[in-house]
């Protein structure tokens, strides 16, 4: 055996070993997340059909498994979406999502809370937005919040996922109370927004509905619309299930601003996330938060000096 053949054989063996030690996803090496508490296990799942109503695109919403799951679809005719029957002051909201495969550039799957239909000029919002992307056909996760604002005053952060979101269901969760807002993916905190003096003016405080939608974000989702949705690959089907919605229900006539679960006279239920364990992250969750932000976050508005000549007050250490 010549030296070149020996070197080729050795290279193959090395690559085989590496592939066993470091499996790859569509974006490179998969990072194993740290162990954290399974916050989702504290809350009960509810059928999608029992808690959600059609928001738009009824022909592109297909209930499955007796309503416990649903497919929401984007095609040439329409996107589609669901909205909660109830409005909430604070709570824990979570859903398992399996995203469309293939070329999904420009497709947006959103799981979010909003009251823009009630407060069009100064609405609140807490967003998960999964953005189909042209780069190696991967999905990008964007989180955002609005408080008493408009779409021009968002606080975006973007992450690469440490798994392929098209192969299995993964959990996307939001915890919202008067202390903080926490975004979690598979129970790993990826973002915490503290409620303090610096953030008080942009902290969501009014009752909101919960939405799950899929739609065409061609105009902005990929580099300002450079890569629009390619409908040759339609329909784009996202599957959702394991819906968890436990919050302070408010009456439909509640128009209060700044009230908490403990003192609002319009509350129909008590606060399910009241207690010391929901006021701050545990040590395990803090490790998970630092891991996600160090290894997977690639954009934060707090570091965008082109957009903000003077950084927003909550960005300052």
Q: Is residue 61 part of a domain?
A: yes
Pick the catalytic residue from 37, 125, 274, 277.
125
Return d(Cα 30, Cα 136) in angstroms, integer: 15
Q: Are 211 and 112 in contact (CB under 8 A)?
A: yes
Alpha-carbon distance values, 136 to 2, 99, 234 (Å): 38, 15, 18
* 3-state secondary structure (DSSP) of residue 276: helix
Q: Which domain holds residue 165?
A: 25-315
Does 311 reside within a domain?
A: yes
Confidence of residue 275 (pLDDT cuts 50, 70, 90): confident
In a domain, 161, yes or no: yes
- Number of domains the chain contains: 1
User: Does residue 13 lie within any of the structural domains?
Assistant: no
Q: What is the CATH number of the domain that holds 242?
A: 2.60.120.200
Active-site option among 129, 157, 192, 246: 129
pLDDT average, residue stretch 227-231: 91
Looking at residue 18, the DSSP 8-state letter turns out to be H
Split at pLDDT 50, 70, 90, the class of 267 is low
Q: Judge contact between 211 and 113, C-beta under 8 A.
A: yes
Pairing outcome for strands 80-98 and 170-176: antiparallel
pLDDT in tens, 120-146: 888 999 999 999 986 666 899 999 999
Query: What pLDDT is attached to residue 272?
Result: 83
Highest mean pLDDT among 69-78, 132-141, 250-259: 69-78
d(CA 315, CA 26) in angstroms, rounded, equals 32
Q: How far apart are CA 171 and CA 266, in angstroms?
A: 31
Chain CA centroid to CA 69, Å = 18
Does the residue 2 lie in any domain? no
Reply yes or no on whether 125 is catalytic.
yes
| Tens digits of residue pLDDT in 169-205 | 999 999 999 999 999 999 999 999 999 999 998 999 9
Per the domain annotation, does 15 fall within a domain?
A: no
pLDDT for 29 = 44
Q: Is 136 contained in some domain?
A: yes
Does residue 39 have a cis bond before it (omega within 30 degrees)? no
How much is the pLDDT for 18?
39
Assigned domain for 8 exists: no
242 among known catalytic residues: no
């Amino acid at each position: 055996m010549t030296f070149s053949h020996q070197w080729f054989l050795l290279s193959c063996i090395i690559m085989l070993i590496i592939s066993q030690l470091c499996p790859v996803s569509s974006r490179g090496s998969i990072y194993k997340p740290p162990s954290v508490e399974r916050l989702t296990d504290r809350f009960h799942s509810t059928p999608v059909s029992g808690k959600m109503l059609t928001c738009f695109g009824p022909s592109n919403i297909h209930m499955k498994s007796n309503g416990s799951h649903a497919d929401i679809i984007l095609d040439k005719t329409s996107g589609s979406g669901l909205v909660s029957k109830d409005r909430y002051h604070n709570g824990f909201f979570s859903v398992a999502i399996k995203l469309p495969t293939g070329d999904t550039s420009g497709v947006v799957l959103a799981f979010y809370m909003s009251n823009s239909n009630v407060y069009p000029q100064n609405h609140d919002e807490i967003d998960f937005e999964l953005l189909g992307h042209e780069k190696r056909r991967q999905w990008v996760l964007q989180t955002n919040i609005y408080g008493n604002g408009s779409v021009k005053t968002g606080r975006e952060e973007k992450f690469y996922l440490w798994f392929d979101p098209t192969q299995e269901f993964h959990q996307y969760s939001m915890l919202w109370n008067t202390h903080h807002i926490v975004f979690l993916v598979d129970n790993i905190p990826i973002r915490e927004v503290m409620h303090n003096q610096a953030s008080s003016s942009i902290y969501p405080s009014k009752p909101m509905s919960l939405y799950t939608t899929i739609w065409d974000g061609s105009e902005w989702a990929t580099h300002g619309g450079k890569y629009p949705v390619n409908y040759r690959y339609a329909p784009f089907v996202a599957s959702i299930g394991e819906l968890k919605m436990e919050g302070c229900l408010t009456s439909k006539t509640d128009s209060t601003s700044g009230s908490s679960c403990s003192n609002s006279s319009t509350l129909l239920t008590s606060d399910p996330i009241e207690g010391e364990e929901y006021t701050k992250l545990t040590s395990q969750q803090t490790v998970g938060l630092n891991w996600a932000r160090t290894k997977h976050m690639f954009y934060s508005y707090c570091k965008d000096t082109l957009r903000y000549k003077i950084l927003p007050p909550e960005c300052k250490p």
